[in-house]
């Protein structure tokens, strides 16, 4: 009899908790739907509020129907986290927290995340956990951080020590992976491990710089296959055939973000700054007069190529932050502003409700897989485009913040 009463009480409490949680979610969703986007807002706020209005719960970014642990959410919400530091609107913090709490379970596991796939893309949303854990001190967030750190400890590597992009892409490093793994890796080590293994972070950049840099242009190829066995890989160098602006953007952003955690006196800090200057100088040569960059970086006049939003936003961010932090010469701030002008004047549409849409963003691109992606020029220029794709909107917010626009 007593046990029955206990069971009934537990059931009632669980129902009450579910009702309370659902009520909070419904209330938050209504708040986001009711957002008013004023004309005089900064671009960073305008884009953020647009996304919050279009996707009332953050997991719906990129049109997800159910909560999903994914790099695109990590990218956009990191931008909103940075915005909150400058404009502490409680709606921004709630939006980020809502995503984290939809996925991190009480035992520290992460819904939809699978460690054994060793997909480095899935490390980047972990950046959102540092602030949540620091604020709440709840153990589940620490356990989730430790789970992602465990992935990096076990991540398969090339013989020369570089992280594979995924378990299903053996012996391959992609430029994308530097952004996906290294800022989290560096922040975790500085926060929890006294920065003891920052050399390993630098090693990832050293490997891709050594193997994927084109000596003629100074640009870096999208991917490098150490085994040289992939059909897309050059049989002598192992590199993929073309330069993709978004891949270069991931790399440039990875450098400026990782440098946040390298003390000036660290022996590898100057090396990373040197890489940032080298890639920035190469990219500057290919900036179009519009301020933007083409989808295939070095083939601006070729048929089918187009001025692309995500790479252009990433370069604007990396250049501006590089100057603001003292890593790059002041001239790059002018180039960043020129890029941002190109984005706002040529690729932004203002919607009837005051929200904004960033056009001309490549939806996705990769190498290998099924259906097979060969890295050819024709492949990159024919991939689908998507308005307000998160790989463009996240860096757009970050660029706007660095430029105070």
Q: What is the DSSP string of 205-251?
A: HHHHHHHHB-TTT--B-SEEETT--STTS-TTT-B-S--BHHHHHHH
Please identify which residue in the block is written with the tokens 């537990």.
10
Give the list of residues 6+ apart from residue 95 with CB closer than 8 angstroms, or none: 32, 52, 58, 77, 80
317 near 349, Cβ under 8 Å? Answer: no
Q: What is the DSSP string of 152-168?
A: HHH--B-TTSPBPS-TT
User: Of the residues 62, 121, 176, 298, which is catalytic?
Assistant: 176
Phi-psi region of 326 (alpha: psi -120 to 50; beta: other; left: phi over 0): left
Neighbours of 122 (CB within 10 A): 23
259 near 325, Cβ under 8 Å? Answer: yes
Q: Before 371, cis peptide (omega within 30)?
A: yes
Helix (H, G, I), strand (E, B) or coil at 405: coil
Q: Is 176 a catalytic residue?
A: yes
- Backbone torsions φ then ψ of 387, nearest 5 degrees: -70, 140
186 near 261, Cβ under 8 Å? Answer: yes
* Cα–Cα distance measured from residue 19 to residue 28, given in angstroms and rounded to the nearest whole number: 14
Helix (H, G, I), strand (E, B) or coil at 322: helix
Distances (CA, A) of 15 to 2, 27, 110, 136: 20, 18, 23, 25
**Where in the sequence numbering do the catalytic residues fall?**
176
């Amino acid at each position: 009899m007593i046990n029955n009463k206990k069971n009934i009480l537990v059931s009632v409490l669980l129902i009450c908790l579910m009702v309370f949680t659902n009520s909070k979610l419904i209330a938050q969703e209504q708040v986001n739907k009711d957002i008013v986007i004023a004309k005089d807002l900064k671009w960073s706020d305008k884009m953020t509020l647009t996304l919050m209005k279009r996707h009332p719960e953050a997991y719906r970014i990129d049109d997800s129907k159910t909560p999903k642990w994914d790099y695109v959410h990590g990218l956009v919400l990191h931008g909103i986290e940075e915005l909150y530091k400058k404009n502490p609107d409680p709606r921004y913090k709630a939006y980020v927290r809502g995503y984290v709490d939809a996925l991190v379970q009480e035992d520290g596991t992460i819904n939809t995340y699978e460690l054994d796939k060793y997909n480095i893309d899935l490390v980047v949303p972990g950046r959102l956990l540092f602030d949540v854990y620091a604020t709440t001190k709840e153990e589940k967030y620490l356990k989730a951080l430790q789970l992602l750190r465990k992935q990096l400890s076990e991540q398969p590597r090339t013989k020369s020590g570089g992280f594979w992009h995924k378990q299903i892409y053996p012996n391959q490093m992609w430029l994308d992976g530097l952004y996906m793994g290294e800022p989290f890796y560096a922040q975790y080590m500085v926060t929890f491990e006294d920065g003891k293994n920052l050399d390993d972070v630098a090693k990832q950049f050293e490997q891709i710089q050594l193997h994927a840099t084109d000596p003629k242009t100074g640009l870096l190829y999208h991917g490098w296959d150490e085994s040289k066995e992939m059909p897309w890989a050059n049989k002598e160098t192992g590199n993929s055939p073309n330069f993709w602006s978004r891949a270069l953007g991931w790399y440039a952003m990875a450098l400026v973000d990782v440098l946040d955690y390298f003390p000036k006196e660290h022996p590898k800090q100057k090396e990373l700054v040197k890489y940032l200057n080298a890639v920035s100088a190469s990219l500057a040569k290919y900036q179009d007069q519009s301020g933007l960059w083409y989808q295939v970086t070095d083939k601006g006049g070729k048929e089918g190529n187009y001025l692309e939003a995500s790479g252009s936003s990433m370069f604007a961010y990396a250049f501006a932050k590089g100057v603001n932090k003292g890593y790059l010469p002041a001239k790059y701030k002018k180039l960043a502003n020129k890029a941002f002008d190109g984005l706002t004047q040529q690729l932004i549409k203002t919607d009837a409700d005051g929200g904004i849409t960033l056009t001309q963003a490549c939806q996705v691109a990769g190498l290998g897989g099924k259906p097979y992606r060969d890295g050819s020029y024709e492949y990159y220029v024919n991939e689908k485009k998507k308005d307000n794709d998160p790989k463009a909107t996240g860096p757009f917010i970050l660029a706007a913040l660095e430029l105070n626009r």
